[in-house]
Structure 1
Amino acid sequence: MNLTTALVTGSSRGIGAAIAVQLRARGVTVIGHASKAHDADTIGADLADPAAPARLWDAALERGNGRIDILVNNAGLFAANPISLSDIAWLDNWEDTLRINLTAAAELSRFAVRHWLAGGRGGRVVHIASRAGYRGDSPEHWHYAAAKGGMIAMHKTIARQYAAQGIMSYAICPGFTDTAMAGDYLASRGGPGLLADIPLGRVAAPEEIAAIATFCALDAPESMTGTVIDANGASYVR
């Protein structure tokens, strides 16, 4: 009988959908999440709402019969925020991105850690961060880079503080990932100019990032806790 249950945020498309597919192929019961539920396996929760992470966690626990073993913090918002906007518009965009990309992930991680501590058993958190957390991003994406940098710091803290209790934390930092039609995706981000900055010569496929996430969730040695895995085609190396 399968006893492994995972909550994957942002599982309706792109990297999250690929992670859900690969985890299910390994026998994991996946509880999906999207801003709006679109099937019976997905919980709808708009993470821009401060109350949504708690509702999502409670609903996921109910579906998991009181047990969640893996949390994948994948949900994110990537939207431009030019510095030329009005003060209030710029701040609103900043706060929306930080809430969805970092604060909601922090809340869910907190719920997961408390769940595992109370149950006296371990668990795993996999954070889908970004190359931007180390390298920075465009002039219109200060907020995105800041959120992903915060996620990396949070991940390292979880790993250092809870490893002795069997709680493992792993982070993945993709570069550009083709989560839309390839032509439209590249065109929206500079076309061939974008590829010139990637030694591999192409952006990552969602399935590549999902393979790393699945490894972290199920196979990575415990000694790897705290690790940050880069997946950016050598466009940024540390």
Structure 2
Amino acid sequence: MTNILLTGSSRGIGAAIAETLRNGGHHVVGHGTASGIAADFADPAAPDRLWDAALAQLDGRVDVLINNAGVFEAAPLDDADDAWLANWERTMQVNLTASAILCRRAVRHWHERGCGGRIVNVASRAAYRGDSPSHWHYAASKAGMVAMTKTIARGYAAQGILAFAICPGFTMTGMAEDYLASRGGDKLLADIPLGRVAAPDEVAEAARWLALDAPASMTGAVIDVNGASYVR
């Protein structure tokens, strides 16, 4: 049985990943306000507390870390300077810095145990194609996550530590219908050749495969799940 720490597991993509992995018989410790261990990643100390609590629940062994937690909050260009900067820093802290702290703890954990492990970081197609003018910070945080994943993959492959990223496009979570309506709905869907947004279980299957079955030679790979709305 694989021991897995999954952030942002209480809803949407995270909940689908948790269900998929648990159905496969794996031990998943989740993080979120509705389920799992509560930790507010806006607090710089929260990721370390989450890691320690998860390690206690997993009998001292984490095999896979999946970083899925994140925020998507608008920061319009015309916001007051302090509000714009505060939103930028909060998004970076929650989306990127918290993930980095957990990745660091995971790599050190595997070094101490003398074993390998896997990291799966859930980024976004925004890492490559950008996002709306009100979401510079979101796109930047996800691009940072992809760069971090590749750096970990290159740095630690020889120790059996593998790192992957997933870049979903729009995904049908609980808020997707309202969000699609606010962004033009039909026009937005017209930009997706598949003709629909992704389902959470599609992203979850990609995460499951990377966490458990992807060949080691794929380390550093980024998997797109966006209906061909952005291809590289």
TM-score normalised to the size of structure 1?
A: 0.96
Alignment gaps of 5+ in structure 2: none
Q: How does 1:81-230 map to 2 (within 5 A)?
A: 81-180=75-174, 183-230=177-224
Question: What's the % identity of the aligned pairs?
Answer: 68
Equivalence for 2:19: 21
Tell me how far apart the structure 2 counterparts of residues 103 and 77 of structure 1 sit (CA, whole Å): 13
CA contact (8 A) 1:178 1:185 kept: no
CA distance in 2, matches of 1:68, 1:161: 20
Structure 1 residue 181 displacement after superposition:
5.5
Give me the CA root mean square deviation: 0.9
Q: Secondary structure at the match of 1:6?
A: strand
- Paired AA for residue 210 in structure 2: C
Unaligned stretches of 5+ in structure 1? none
Residue 11, structure 1, aligned to residue 9, structure 2: yes
TM-score (ref. length: structure 2):
0.98
Alignment partners' CA distance in 2, 1:117 and 1:78 = 33
Between the two proteins, the alignment pairs up a number of residues equal to: 232
Contact 1:77 1:101 in 2 (8 A): yes
Query: Aligned partners of 2:113 and 2:130: how far apart in 1?
Result: 38
Question: 2: CA distance between counterparts of 1:49 and 1:158?
Answer: 24
C-alpha distance after superposition, 1:5-41 (max 9, x if no partner): 100000000000000000111111000001x3x44xx
Residues 174/56 of structure 1: CA separation in 2 closer, same or farther (3 Å cut): same
Deviates most, 177-186 or 112-121: 177-186
Asked if 2 retains the 8 angstrom alpha-carbon contact of 1:102 and 1:151, the reply is yes
1:141-189 Cα deviation digits (max 9, x unpaired): 0000000000000000000000000100010000111112553242132
Instruction: Give yes or no for contact 1:6–1:69 (8 Å, CA) kept in 2.
Output: yes
Instruction: Determine helix, strand or coil for the equivalent of 1:71.
Output: strand
